[in-house]
A and B are shown apart, each in its own frame.
Chain A
Amino acid sequence: AQTVTQSQPEMSVQEAETVTLSCTYDTSESDYYLFWYKQPPSRQMILVIRQEAYKQQNATENRFSVNFQKAAKSFSLKISDSQLGDAAMYFCAYRSDDYGGSQGNLIFGKGTKLSVKP
Chain B
Amino acid sequence: DAGVTQSPTHLIKTRGQQVTLRCSPISGHKSVSWYQQVLGQGPQFIFQYYEKEERGRGNFPDRFSARQFPNYSSELNVNALLLGDSALYLCASSLTFNPGQGPEAFFGQGTRLTVV
Q: Which residues of A approach B to under 8 Å, CB–CB?
A: 4, 33, 35, 37, 42-47, 50, 52, 91, 93, 95-97, 99, 101-111
- Taking a contact as CB atoms under 8 Å apart, the answer to whether A104 and B42 are in contact is no
Q: Which residues of B sit under 8 angstroms from A99, Cβ to Cβ?
A: 97-100
Top 7 A-B residue pairs of the complex, sorted by shortest distance between their CB atoms:
A108-B42, A102-B56, A45-B107, A105-B45, A33-B103, A44-B109, A104-B48
| Cβ A91 vs Cβ B42 within 8 A | yes
> Would you give 10 A-B contacts (Cβ < 8 Å), ordered by A?
A43-B88, A43-B109, A45-B43, A45-B107, A96-B99, A97-B100, A102-B56, A104-B31, A104-B99, A105-B48
Q: How many A-B residue pairs have CB under 8 A?
A: 75
Contact residues in A for B40 (Cβ distance below 8 Å): 110
Which residues of chain A are near B103, meaning CB under 8 Å?
A: 33, 50, 52, 95, 97
- Distance of B25 from chain A, by nearest CB (Å): 14
Question: In whole angstroms, what is the CA distance A63 to B42 when docked?
Answer: 24
Q: Give the chain B neighbours of A93 by CB distance below 8 A.
A: 42
CB-CB under 8 A from B105, the residues of chain A are 47, 95, 106
A52 cross-chain contacts in B, Cβ below 8 A: 103
Residues in A with CB closer than 8 Å to B112 are 43
